[in-house]
A and B are shown apart, each in its own frame.
Chain A
């Protein structure tokens, strides 16, 4: 079985106002097996979101190789990367990123719309999995922050992805709710057989994972900066 995620020699830089390019990521090697669950530790500004966006094909690296479930993200066209996100990836954001004009059910249907196709039954199933079936027709503003994040989790799970990315998933939640969300993510990923990569700086979140990778250790760009 293909690994859920393979990263080789990944480099990403951004242009600085001075015109020079600042390297934010340089990851020689990283791998995530199918169904494996790993947390990435990193303070703000270390490039966690950039890494997540590159894996999801939202950002394009300067060089390197990224493959998700055997599909080489870095070799795909933009349309191919869109398809990859729609079919193989689930993405949970720190700010939930629910569409405020849509109900919980419709938000979850969005997670299916661009891949398998909008299926209310499958969306309701995903909402049931996160315990929000009875709130299916509520708008995000009618839900608590914890419930909103659960909807976001249901949306990420709806297309049964091979890899779930969660970027600071508890950043807007209190400790108790954060713990519940992480547990929900882990349980759901396990039941679907999906790999889970969680980026966080929250010790509570990191403490709940058996495998924690330090982004500062993984990212040689930071070391290079220190060498300079």
Chain B
């Protein structure tokens, strides 16, 4: 009977109930989104570091090196020589050293020149190596061939055998088209990393394109480095060698800490979002209070009738708190839907623009405390109306007297 009364009470004041439910949903959706997207975005960026520990590049910003080398964003701070690459590759603590060259695009999709080492058992995540989809093959060194990332292939509508003329520069300029023709010989199997959104070509493919400086034909944009697992102090040693003692090159290491610095730059925005989420949560609580309070006031007579029929005061408390809890529960359920919508939108934006895959349903404590917070707030908002119901005088509620 209690649940029936709660259900009918909520239905009887449908508009105020719906507004309160929507605000609770908005509050919960925002609170959970802000927390999860922030935490998950940082983790996703770290996951998307493609298994590399460091990036070696020209003297400049470490963040720029990481963004350019691992996330294919921004420009390279400058070039390094082939000797620099050979030197770092020969170091005993270095497991893999992958040279890359950037500077060209096809309609905004970046071309990345890379050595054929890229397709030789290179792990981008534990037990996951870069491979080409069945039917295709890795490019041949020295040939005008390309392996296109899965997302780029989808975006450009490319399949095996597609040919294209690259454009000079990182930004698309229709008048800067190279005359060379490349052929797609493979599509990279999806990795859910930024590797999916670029076109991979042989190093020479980018280095020796028409119009490039012949003096820089062997230059590289960066070297992606993975240390041997047993070389615990490798990062520190190379950091000292390149960053402290040297003046020509920069080693971006450790990648996680550089990414953390990136996220800390947006801390103010995150704080603003959190404040907004809390404000919406408070407004939601106020609207639950308003909905339950007005519903209780409008149904004072109903509550008095219940008491006249033998309902104990505690029953009225349960009925009123049940309504506020009902609004809270409905709001939380809808809030999860809203969160799913927000998260999937952010996920799609990050995936298509940066190649980072967000996992919105990965465990995060806010997925529990967020709904509990809103539910608690809703129940607390029903406390005063419940107290009024408890104090209700049956005789007054049933008036007029004859």
- Enumerate chain A interface residues (CB-CB to B < 8 A): 44, 48-50, 53, 56, 58-59, 78-79, 82-87, 91, 93-94, 97-102, 106, 109-111, 113-115, 118, 155, 167-168, 171, 199, 201
Instruction: Give the distance in Å from the alpha carbon of A79 to the alpha carbon of B314 in the complex.
Output: 10
Mark the stretch among B33-41, B169-177, B253-261, B304-312 that contacts chain A.
Answer: B304-312
Q: List 8 A-B contacts (CB under 8 A).
A: A48-B402, A59-B395, A79-B312, A101-B9, A110-B309, A111-B309, A113-B309, A114-B312
Contact indicator B398/A97 (Cβ below 8 Å): yes
Contact indicator B307/A82 (Cβ below 8 Å): yes
Instruction: Give the distance in Å from the alpha carbon of A115 to the alpha carbon of B312 in the complex.
Output: 11
Q: Which of A79, A100, A110 makes the CB contact (< 8 A) with B306?
A: A110
Contact indicator B395/A85 (Cβ below 8 Å): no
Contact indicator B308/A167 (Cβ below 8 Å): no
Which of chain B's residues have a CB closer than 8 A to the CB of A168?
A: 402
Q: Which residue of B lies closest to A79 (CB)?
A: B312
Of B8, B398, B402, most buried by chain A (CB within 10 Å of CB) is B402
Which of chain B's residues have a CB closer than 8 A to the CB of A50?
A: 401
Q: Which of A48, A79, A85 makes the CB contact (< 8 A) with B309?
A: A85
Which of chain B's residues have a CB closer than 8 A to the CB of A109?
A: 1
- Given contacts A82-B311, A85-B310, A86-B309, are A110 and B398 in contact (CB under 8 A)? no
B383 at the interface (CB under 8 A from A): no
Q: Which of B4, B310, B398 makes the CB contact (< 8 A) with A86?
A: B310
Q: How many residues of B contact A (CB 8 A)?
A: 24
Contact indicator A99/B302 (Cβ below 8 Å): yes
Which of chain B's residues have a CB closer than 8 A to the CB of A84?
A: 310
Contact indicator B4/A99 (Cβ below 8 Å): no
Q: Which of B5, B12, B301, B311 makes the CB contact (< 8 A) with A97?
A: B301
Q: Which residue of B lies closest to A47 (CB)?
A: B401
Q: Mark B1-27, 1 if CB is under 8 A from A, else 0.
A: 100110011011000000000000000
Contact indicator B308/A56 (Cβ below 8 Å): yes
Q: Which of A59, A102, A199 makes the CB contact (< 8 A) with B402?
A: A199
Contact indicator B398/A83 (Cβ below 8 Å): no
Which of chain A's residues have a CB closer than 8 A to the CB of B302?
A: 99-101
Which of chain A's residues have a CB closer than 8 A to the CB of B306?
A: 99, 110
Which of chain B's residues have a CB closer than 8 A to the CB of A111?
A: 309
Which of chain B's residues have a CB closer than 8 A to the CB of A44?
A: 402
Instruction: Give the distance in Å from the alpha carbon of A113 to the alpha carbon of B311 in the complex.
Output: 8
The A-contacting residues of B in range 295-347, CB under 8 angstroms, are 301-302, 305-313, 315
Instruction: Give the distance in Å from the alpha carbon of A102 to the alpha carbon of B311 in the complex.
Output: 16
Min CB distance B156 to A, Å, is 60
B394 at the interface (CB under 8 A from A): yes
Contact indicator B395/A53 (Cβ below 8 Å): yes
- Given contacts A99-B302, A102-B4, are A114 and B309 in contact (CB under 8 A)? yes
Contact indicator B310/A118 (Cβ below 8 Å): no
Contact indicator B394/A58 (Cβ below 8 Å): yes
Contact indicator B315/A114 (Cβ below 8 Å): yes
Contact indicator A49/B402 (Cβ below 8 Å): yes
The A-contacting residues of B in range 172-194, CB under 8 angstroms, are none
Other A-B contacts than A48-B402, A99-B5, 13 sampled, CB-CB below 8 A, are: A50-B401, A53-B398, A58-B395, A82-B307, A86-B309, A97-B308, A97-B398, A101-B8, A101-B11, A102-B4, A106-B4, A114-B309, A118-B1
Contact indicator A94/B395 (Cβ below 8 Å): no
Min CB distance A68 to B, Å, is 13
Which of chain B's residues have a CB closer than 8 A to the CB of A98?
A: 305
Contact indicator B311/A114 (Cβ below 8 Å): yes
Contact indicator A99/B305 (Cβ below 8 Å): yes
Contact indicator A83/B310 (Cβ below 8 Å): yes
Which of chain A's residues have a CB closer than 8 A to the CB of B315?
A: 114
Of B8, B306, B311, B401, most buried by chain A (CB within 10 Å of CB) is B401
Contact indicator B1/A110 (Cβ below 8 Å): yes
Which of chain A's residues have a CB closer than 8 A to the CB of B313?
A: 78
Min CB distance B35 to A, Å, is 38
